[in-house]
A and B are shown apart, each in its own frame.
Chain A
Amino acid sequence: MPNLPMINPQLLSMSPEQVQALMPYFLVCGGTIIALLACVLRVLSPKWPVFLLTLATCAVGICSSIGLLHNGTSVTLFNSMMVSDPFASFFNVLFLASAAITAMISFRYLDREKIQHPEYFVLLLFAAFGMMIMTSATDLVMVFIALELMSLSVYALVGFRRTDRRSNEAAMKYFILGSAASAVMLYGAAMLYGATGSMEIHAILQAIRTTPTLMTPLFTLGVWLVVAGFLFKVASVPFHMWMPDVYEGAPAPVTGFMTTGLKAAAFATFVRVFVSLGYGHALTETIQTHFHNILWVIAVLTMALGNFVALTQTNLKRMLGYSSIAHTGYLLVGLIAGSASDQGYAPMVVYLVAYSVMNLGAFIILTVLASRDDGGLNLPDLAGLSRRHPWLAFSMAVFLFSMAGIPPTAGFAAKYMIFSAGVQAGEIPLVVISVLCSAVSVYYYLRVLVYMYMRDPVGSPAASRMSAWSTVALAAMVAMTLQIGIMPARALSAAKKAVTSL
């Protein structure tokens, strides 16, 4: 019976560095709680105060995270339950920015759908806070708790259109499957504890480094179950079944949030846990090859399935859902290549940022265009959009070209980095397959353009008005898509700074 560590009261006190390193977490958590309290203030209409509080919380969170990113220090917290390092700060910025943009585009949407409840924004903040904790967690229990905080908030957001059946179905489906996936992950964590005697990922790594014999089948199975949990969250084949339905049923802005924040969070944590568990440096060669081969197959299947099924979709939300699966595949290529190329996981991180920007942008447009109950998002509804809303159509074209990986957009720069890392890692067949899959994807992205630009409008759809908030958000996304595409060096160096702390 090993000595269980007693809780030392000294561990509960914090040094000034630790307080500083926790600043974004304090600010976001505090802001969330104040926003939650503001919901109860029924004296006034709480929608404005809560909305503005949400934006303010995100803003201060982003500022303090950027400050930490510039500092570049790694601080271990809470008896190695968490670490606040540039990697976490980098992603915190991404999560909070995507939450802020989601809030900005949701404001009018909620009014229009008559579901303007301030709790929506609080749930968004809780989800973002869960993501922040999850990415900085270094203990599997902490990962699990953060994952649940994030997931539960998102389950509620998915079902936020209470009177719509599809929204309810999506929430239910996501909840049941998501819970099963969380359980699988927890089970994996328990097995790792059984195999190595710790839940803390660095301690696990230390254990298998010092005694390689600990890499028993129990250990491998544990790792696989944890990985399966992540593969579910990033929606890779064969754990993708929930995604199209949930994407279609969830309110449009929530779908945008899920494809960006949630996916980025899952991938970031995936990378941290995966690297910390010794992928690419500490595992025995057999286990390493074994992991590599299975991920290789999963990546290929994910890309192929996502792209080919997207070809047949006529609903835009569903199509972007399948396209999101396809992008998971490209990201997995980055993950596979990451351990063997000299750029490390930086290309994958850039890809996550690029993907978040362009996808969030596309969902801003869908949110603006959606009619009641998220109708009017089928391809024919877009016919002649370039006449009705030239700037919306132009922005959408930028995002679609970016998703298709056509220069000079962020999607191209990111694909270039990720695939060139793949070639460096000697994965030429995988890169050729990815490239051909992305050629397939061009067809369905361009089909949207065909409707927007090359067909005449049918009937006279209700003119959708954009709020100033959405306009600002959309302009920012277009600018970033082009900026990362034309000047990718800064994004890459920031990403490199982030991944070196892993």
Chain B
Amino acid sequence: MAWFDTNLLSTLVFLPLLWAVIGLAVPAKASRFWAAAGALLTFGLSLLVYSRFQTDGAEFQLMESAEWLPSLGISYTLGIDGISLWLIMLTTFLMPIAIIGSFSAIEQRVKEYYFLLLSLETAMLGAFVSLDIFLFYVFWEAMLIPMYFMIGIWGGKERIYATMKFFLYTLVGSLLMLVAIFYLAYMHKQQFGSYSTLITDLYKLQLEGGTFWTAQSLIFLAFAAAFAVKVPLFPLHTWLPDAHVQAPTAGSVILAAILLKMGGYGFMRIAFPMLPMGVAYFQLAFMVLAAIAIVYGAWVAMVQPDIKKLVAYSSVSHMGYVVLGLFALDPISVSGSYYQMLNHGVSTGALFLLVGMIYERRHTREISAFGGITKVMPLFALVFMIVTLSSVALPGTNGFIGEFMILLGSWKANPGLTAIATTGVIFGAVYMLWMFQRVMFGPVTDHHNEELKDLNFRELAIMTPLIAAIFAMGIYPNFFFSKLNPSIDRMITRTMGKTGFKGLSGVARAATLPESHS
């Protein structure tokens, strides 16, 4: 047990992979149950991690460290703070749901499918717990491989185009980040005498900044290239609708719910605290792009004839809020952004699952093919209603808390852009409710829809935890913020406290930190 105690995070990260490898020997018929058991076990393990995490403990907890490539300063270092904790929980929480959700949809090459899903979980968890930037990069890139196969093998008609686009977009961004990593490790050698890729070591670097052709700005751009593609931020979002629409349901769920969060996580863990002057220099530009993403994503979503594509564009809009809140760099908006990432994971994940369920029944996702579904599938309609309302940020649901905090916090940084972003809330309600109305209400126009079966037990079983999460996060957010805020505060102090932060409202804001989140 001693080994287990000191290697809790490693166990958590590699358990799904180990489970996946053993799963190759399990007969194909049983492999879905095997995978679901593995994902549930991982979730159980993550609850243990949660219980070991202390709110007022050290900055990084459950640390593990081992030498890896010492001559280049690379180590295998894991640890979590509040920022990683909730994303880990989100991952392990959604994974069993995604797996059980694919039980009926995946009929071909079942074994490979679950192998890839579980190995994807290892890569995602690995990225969230890495405290060494090299290790982070390894997991970050390794994540692409299972996703690439999932879209390419089990996807829709245009799957090959979509998966290539997804891979290449993300890869080009990541490779620029790799150059930035080389540079930072080298600067550590220049300033401290030895190579290091430890994230906490790199926080200590003093780099030039302030204008465009300085280390901070350029390195920030390199990191932003990787993170903004992943988020995805307008105008780098074009891979997302293709990938989402073509991916199998579980692929879309994980892509939307967790992979996109890697971008926001990267900004918070790496780009902001390491390169405060870079952030300051590009703050306005990113806020403008985020505002564009919010409004543009909503407008484009409004005219989509395909439900899945509509949800995909709504992701662009929702993730726009995340970026807006992050770059406003106000404690409230940053917490809100983080919360919005969790919300988006739950709500959009649920939406993709629901779209998948109706697609399995009707083999179409065209909005015009539906109408009056409430009458034939009342339970489905109820669940869809709750998720839709959470997505349009109705008070009482999780979406409200996140968007409200983002807009509140961003107002101080830039009222004009925040006002524009707020219109996105209205447009968001318009496209979601309009879609809901066209699909659910009115007479049953298509006779194919008359025979549709309502949700079965399995489908209800996977939707229930999501709905519970929607209300829990909407009604009692403090449960989440209590473990999160100390880490967010540290991150902001690091970003603002470093000399020379001349963001939109300057260093003065740092003074308001202690009174936040009261």
Whether B71 lies near A493 (C-beta < 8 A) is yes
Q: Would you list which residues of chain A between 398 and 457 have a CB under 8 Å from chain B?
A: 401, 406-408, 412, 416-417, 419-420, 422-424, 428, 431-432, 435-436, 438-439, 442-443, 446-447, 449-450, 453-454
Complex interface: chain A residues within 8 A of B185 (CB): 420
Whether the Cβ atoms of A406 and B142 lie closer than 8 Å is yes
Interface flags, B150-175, vs A, CB<8A=1, else 0: 00110000011001100110011001
Per-residue 0/1 for B178-197: is the Cβ within 8 Å of any A Cβ (1 yes, 0 no)? 11001101100100000000
In the complex, the answer to whether B179 meets A442 with C-beta atoms within 8 Å is no
Is A233 among interface residues, defined by CB-CB distance under 8 A? no
Please encode chain B, from 126 to 153, with 1 for each CB lying within 8 Å of some chain A CB and 0 for all others: 0000000010011001101100110011
Contact assessment for B71 and A423 in the assembled complex, using a CB-CB cutoff below 8 Å = no
Given contacts A406-B145, A416-B178, contact A488 B69 (CB under 8 A): yes
Nearest CB to that of B197 among chain A residues? A420
- Whether B183 pairs with A428 at a CB distance below 8 angstroms is yes
**A417 B171 Cβ-Cβ under 8 A:** no
Report yes or no: A492 in contact with B159, Cβ–Cβ below 8 A: no
Contact A435 B142 (CB under 8 A): no
Query: Nearest residue in A to B151 (C-beta to C-beta)?
Result: A454
**A297 in the interface, Cβ–Cβ < 8 Å?**
no
- Residue among A407, A435, A438, A489 facing the most chain B CB atoms (10 A cut-off): A407
With a cutoff of 8 Å between Cβ atoms, the chain B residues found around residue A435 in the complex are: 175-176, 178-179
Q: Write out, one digit per residue, whether chain A residues 294-334 have a CB within 8 A of any chain B CB (1) or not (0).
A: 00000000000000000000000000000000000000000
Q: B171 to A439, Cβ gap below 8 A?
A: yes
Q: How far is the CB of B222 from chain A (nearest CB, A)?
A: 9
Interface assignment of A496: CB less than 8 Å from any CB of chain B: yes
Q: Binary interface profile of A, 470-499, with partner B (CB < 8 Å = 1, else 0)?
A: 000000000000000001110011001000
The verdict on A236 contacting chain B, using a C-beta distance below 8 Å, is no
User: What is A's interface to B at a CB cutoff of 8 Å?
Assistant: 343, 401, 406-408, 412, 416-417, 419-420, 422-424, 428, 431-432, 435-436, 438-439, 442-443, 446-447, 449-450, 453-454, 487-489, 492-493, 496
CB-based nearest B residue for A443 = B168
Q: Is the CB of A419 within 8 A of B186?
A: no
Q: Which residues of B contact A487 (CB under 8 A)?
A: 68
Bound state CA distance, A424 and B159, in angstroms? 41
Docked-complex contact B179 and A454, CB < 8 angstroms: no
Chain A CB within 8 A of B21 CB:
no
Contact B160 A450 (CB under 8 A): yes
Chain B residue at minimum C-beta to C-beta distance from A426: B186
B70 within 8 A of A: yes
Contact of A401 among B145, B152, B183 (CB under 8 A): B145
Contact A436 B172 (CB under 8 A): yes
Q: Could you tell me the distance in whole angstroms from the C-beta of B376 to the nearest C-beta in chain A?
A: 36
Q: Can you show 13 pairs from A to B with CB atoms below 8 A apart? A: A343-B72, A406-B145, A416-B178, A420-B182, A423-B182, A423-B183, A436-B172, A442-B171, A446-B148, A449-B148, A450-B160, A493-B71, A496-B71
Q: How far is it, in angstroms, between the C-alpha of A375 and the C-alpha of B159 when the chains are bound?
A: 29
Shortest CB distance B76–A (Å)? 10
Choice from A422, A436, A447 contacting B175 with Cβ under 8 Å: A436
A432 and B179 contact, Cβ closer than 8 Å, known pairs A406-B142, A406-B145, A439-B171: yes
Pair A408/B152 contact, Cβ less than 8 Å = no
What residues of chain B lie closer than 8 Å to A419, measured between beta carbons?
A: 178-179, 182
CA distance A450 to B164 in the complex (A): 9
Q: Which residues of chain B come closer than 8 Å to A492, judged between CB atoms? A: 69, 71-72
Q: Looking at the complex, which one of B149, B172, B186 makes contact with A424 (CB distance below 8 Å)?
A: B186
**A446-B137 contact, Cβ under 8 Å, with A420-B72, A423-B183:** no
Q: A424-B186, A446-B148, A446-B164 are in contact. Are A431 and B69 (CB under 8 A)?
A: no
Nearest B-chain residue to A431, judged by Cβ: B179
CB neighbours (8 Å) of A420 from chain B are 72, 182, 185-186
Other A-B pairs beyond A424-B186, A439-B172, 12, CB < 8 Å: A406-B142, A407-B138, A407-B142, A416-B134, A419-B182, A420-B72, A432-B176, A435-B176, A436-B172, A442-B171, A447-B164, A453-B149
Chain A residues positioned under 8 Å from B183 (CB to CB): 423, 428
With a CB–CB cut-off of 8 A, which chain B residues contact A432?
Answer: 176, 179
Chain A residues within an 8 Å CB radius of B149: 453
Which of chain A's residues have a CB closer than 8 A to the CB of B189? 424
The answer to whether A489 touches B69, judged by C-beta atoms less than 8 angstroms apart, is: yes
The answer for the CA separation of A453 and B108 in the assembled complex, in Å, is 13
User: Complex Cα distance A492/B182, Å?
Assistant: 17
A431 CA to B178 CA in the complex, in Å?
A: 10
Q: A432-B179, A435-B178, A436-B175 are in contact. Are A453 and B142 (CB under 8 A)?
A: no
Question: Are A450 and B68 in touch, CB under 8 angstroms?
Answer: no
Question: In the complex, are the beta carbons of A431 and B164 less than 8 A apart?
Answer: no
Closest Cβ of chain A: how far from B73's Cβ, in Å?
A: 10
* Separation of A310 and B71 alpha carbons in the complex (Å): 35
- Report which residue of A412, A416, A492 has the largest number of chain B beta carbons within 10 angstroms of its beta carbon: A416
Q: Which of A407, A449, A454 contacts B137 (CB 8 A)?
A: A407
Q: Which residue of the partner chain B has the closest CB to A491?
A: B69
Q: How far is the CB of B313 from chain A (nearest CB, A)?
A: 26
Q: B144 to A406, Cβ gap below 8 A?
A: yes
Q: Tell me the smallest distance from the CB of B176 to a CB of chain A, in Å.
A: 7
Instruction: Mark contacts of B34-55 with chain A using CB atoms, 8 A cut-off: 1 yes-contact digit, 0 otherwise.
Output: 0000000000000000000000
Cβ-defined contact, A417 with B72, below 8 A: yes
Contact B141 A406 (CB under 8 A): yes
B196 shortest CB reach to chain A, Å: 12
CB-defined contacts of A489 to chain B, threshold 8 Å: 67-71
Which residue, of A401, A417, A419, A454, has the highest number of chain B Cβ atoms within 10 A?
Answer: A454
A450 nearest CB neighbor, chain B only: B160
Residues of B within 8 A of A488 (CB): 69
Which parts of B62-119 form the interface with A (CB within 8 Å)?
67-72
Tell me, in angstroms, the Cα distance from A453 to B149 when the chains sit together.
8
Which of A343, A423, A438, A454 meets B152, CB within 8 Å? A454
Given known A407-B142, A423-B186, A435-B176, contact A443–B70 (CB-CB < 8 A): no
Contacts of A446 in B (CB 8 A): 148, 164, 167
Residues of chain A within 8 A of B167, CB atoms compared: 442, 446
Contacts of A493 in B (CB 8 A): 71
Chain B residues lying within 8 Å of A449, measured Cβ to Cβ, are 148, 152
Point out the residues of chain B lying under 8 angstroms from A439, CB to CB: 168, 171-172, 175
* CA–CA, A419 and B176, complex, Å: 12
- B152 x A453 contact (CB < 8 A): yes
Does the CB pair B138–A408 fall under 8 Å? yes
The closest CB in chain A to the CB of B190 belongs to A424
* Interchain CA distance A487-B74 in the complex, whole Å: 11
Please tell me if the beta carbons of A442 and B168 are within 8 angstroms of each other in the complex. yes
Output the nearest chain A residue to B138 by Cβ-Cβ distance: A407
- Given the known interface contacts A407-B142, A416-B134, A446-B148, the answer about A428 and B71 at a Cβ–Cβ threshold of 8 Å is no
Instruction: Give complex CA distance A435, B183 in Å.
Output: 14
Residues of A with C-beta under 8 A to B141: 406-407, 412
Chain A proximity of B212: nearest CB distance (Å)? 16
Q: Return chain B residues, CB-CB under 8 Å to A436.
A: 172, 175
Q: Determine the distance from Cα of A407 to Cα of B133 in the docked complex, in whole angstroms.
A: 14
Centre residue among A443, A447, A489 by max chain B CB count within 10 A:
A489
A290 CB → nearest B CB, Å: 26
Contacts of A417 in B (CB 8 A): 72
A residues near B71, Cβ cutoff 8 Å: 343, 489, 492-493, 496
CA distance A432 to B182 in the complex (A): 11
Which residues of chain B (451-500) have a CB below 8 Å from chain A?
none
- Name the CB-closest residue of A to B218: A428
Q: What's the nearest-Cβ distance from chain A to residue B121, in Å?
A: 16
CB distance from B300 to the nearest CB of A (A): 27
Q: Which residues of B contact A428 (CB under 8 A)?
A: 179, 183
A468 CA to B145 CA, complexed, in Å? 30
Distance (Å) between the CB of B453 and the closest chain A CB? 31
Minimal Cβ-Cβ distance residue in B for A442 = B171
Closest 10 CB pairs between A and B? A423-B182, A407-B138, A454-B152, A420-B182, A435-B175, A439-B172, A489-B69, A407-B141, A424-B186, A439-B175
Shortest B33–chain A CB gap in Å is: 22
